[in-house]
Structure 1
Amino acid sequence: MKDQAEHLRNWVRQANNVQTAKTIAVISGKGGVGKSNFSLNFSITLAKKGHSVLLFDMDIGMGNIDILMGNSSRHSIIDFFEHGTPLSDIISKGPDNISVIAGGTGLTKLFELDQSQFDSFLAEFNRLLHQYEYIIFDMGAGINYESSRFMLCVDDLFVVTTPEPTAVMDAYSVMKYLNSVSQSLSLFLICNRVQSEMEGHETIKRLQNALRKFLQKEIIPLGFLPDDKSVSKAVAKQVPFMIDNNGSVVSKALSEIAARYEISDFREGLTMKKNNFLGKLKNYFLSH
């Protein structure tokens, strides 16, 4: 299976004559649903499958990827904006050889750049797009004007929720808002901390039906993660659960979610459809 996947990746790259990272923004309607923990462990899962991954902590003012990894990065994205530190120098190595850019007030600062500074950011980020297969942005909970503009630029949006009614309603509200701005967004759904398979299926079905009925929008369900005690144990140790207990129920479920997404990604890649992340970024940030 791994050899076949690698063959498909190589075929797509050769056909496009260039490797460009798939950009993913991980979002949630409210805090406390495990979004950052998902982002970190999903990145590690992709790395374990042989992909090169950059995890970008965009949780403004509340970035906690470093805490979940149990280490502190020397630099954050704020060093680029305030001190001109090259993005390549800000990147630190995380578990299983993933690359990490620590959070700060990066998204706010990005909107405050003048034309020359923004062009410098685009030039440096363009190099990153050709160094990695996946760039994953761990966004802040909820949504605001700045974050919504950024979300419109990525290839895919992962929405993380839990079965709690408030979390489901907030997730729906975020998707409703984004769909009102752009109906072409690719939305993927992950339900976290489910008590049973039935609860996971019902939560996903509830959101699918709501989007179909009120927004005429299809959302792609990637699956659900069980409420596994190994997660809280790993958080207490400040070790990602995919590393602390790779054989746990939640780790196996996350591996299945990553495999599901890989299949979706290959299908899209084989149609030769590529989103221009940097072009859209420049358009949304400088023309509004």
Structure 2
Amino acid sequence: MNGQETEIQLIQISKKFGNFTAVQNVNLEIYHGEFFSLLGPSGCGKTTTLRMIAGLEEPTEGQICLAGEDVTYKPAYLRNVNTVFQDYALFPHMTVEENIYFPLKMKKVKYSNARAMIEEALTLVNMTDFGKRYPQQLSGGQRQRIALARSLVNRPRALLLDEPLGALDFKLRIAMQKVLKDIQKNVNITFIYVTHDQTEAITMSDRICVMKDGVIHQIGTPDEIYNSPASTFVASFIGDMNFLEGQVVQKGENSVTIDVDGKPIL
């Protein structure tokens, strides 16, 4: 991804809640149009990191930049980013069209001027026939698509997704992974995706940041994370691995010989 425009940059970001350090010295550079995942077990700091990018939490230390602008202490409504949560947060008393129109209404865009944008958003998520329905008349997957449409209708610089597929059943979750990736490619907007699901991250991401205990353990492509883990934690978290303890006895140009219990392994 070198040479690409930096969309979001986190510089020495830390976040404390009382005496508890949730995020410690995080440095991240996320590029324009990238599908970037924050991956790790519960309590690793991934959601706190996302909330700081969104402006929903202030960092204790460090700096956050969006498209080169320092937004560290800017409130969420002044940042050109939107967030999709696991619970969708759709207004039950509004139709699908009215839900999608809501962020434009907050920016004082007249409905007559917003109609084309609403239709485009519905087309993007393949829900053009559902504009007059209410959220309670939709399935979980359909509600998730509407939440996406609402978050994308005003074309933010970045879309932040906090485990948005967690409430869906397995089959629908797999289908929505493809929908998300296709939409992201279509709109060419930076997606930052929080998950504890290794398969989700590997399937959809351009790059993955693996976290544990508020610290970054590795940043890389899915191939780099899986085939060249930087630590035993990354190796064990990303998939089933066999670990052998031994001593390096010989190094070649493209190989290493390790002594394991008196037996050489190449």
- Is the TM-score greater than 0.5? no
TM-score of the superposed pair, with normalisation by structure 2: 0.35
Larger Rg: 2
Higher helix share: 1
TM-score of the superposed pair, with normalisation by structure 1: 0.33
